[in-house]
């Protein structure tokens, strides 16, 4: 099992990035959360099978069609298994 803590920068707010991330995470069976940051970026934590977490991180590099991702920082962390689902944090 794997855990990635990601920070996504670019035009990622106001383009349904969080909702699209939630939808993709649920399709892949990823648990965790995603939220907007005050600096205009998006932050998320993804937990699941290593191959699916890697797919989720790679998806974040593009995001939904109206997004323009400039940079994705990924911090790999120890799997904690603390989430029961994937949600948007407000």
Enclosing domain of residue 61:
2-7+14-70
pLDDT for res 83? 97
Task: Evaluate whether residue 81 is within a structural domain.
Answer: no
Active-site choice (3, 22, 26, 36): 36
Sites in the chain below the pLDDT cut of 70: none
Q: Is 36 known to be catalytic?
A: yes
pLDDT for res 38? 97
pLDDT for res 67? 97
Please state the domain count of the chain. 1
Task: Evaluate whether residue 57 is within a structural domain.
Answer: yes
Active-site choice (3, 18, 26, 58): 18
Task: Evaluate whether residue 44 is within a structural domain.
Answer: yes
CATH (domain of 36): 3.30.70.100
Beta strands in the chain (DSSP E): 2-11, 31-36, 42-48, 68-77, 86-88
Taking only the tens place, the pLDDT of each residue in 67-78 is 999 999 999 999
List the strands of the sheet with 68-77, edge to edge: 68-77, 2-11, 42-48, 31-36, 86-88
């Amino acid at each position: 099992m794997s855990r990635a803590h990601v920070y996504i920068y670019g035009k990622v707010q106001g383009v349904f990035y969080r909702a699209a991330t939630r939808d993709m995470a649920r399709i892949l069976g990823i648990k965790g959360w995603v939220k907007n940051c005050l600096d205009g970026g998006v932050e998320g934590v993804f937990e699941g099978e290593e191959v699916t977490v890697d797919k989720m991180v790679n998806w974040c590099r593009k995001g939904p069609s109206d997004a323009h991702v400039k940079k994705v920082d990924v911090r790999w962390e120890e799997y904690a298994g603390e989430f029961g689902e994937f949600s948007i944090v407000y």
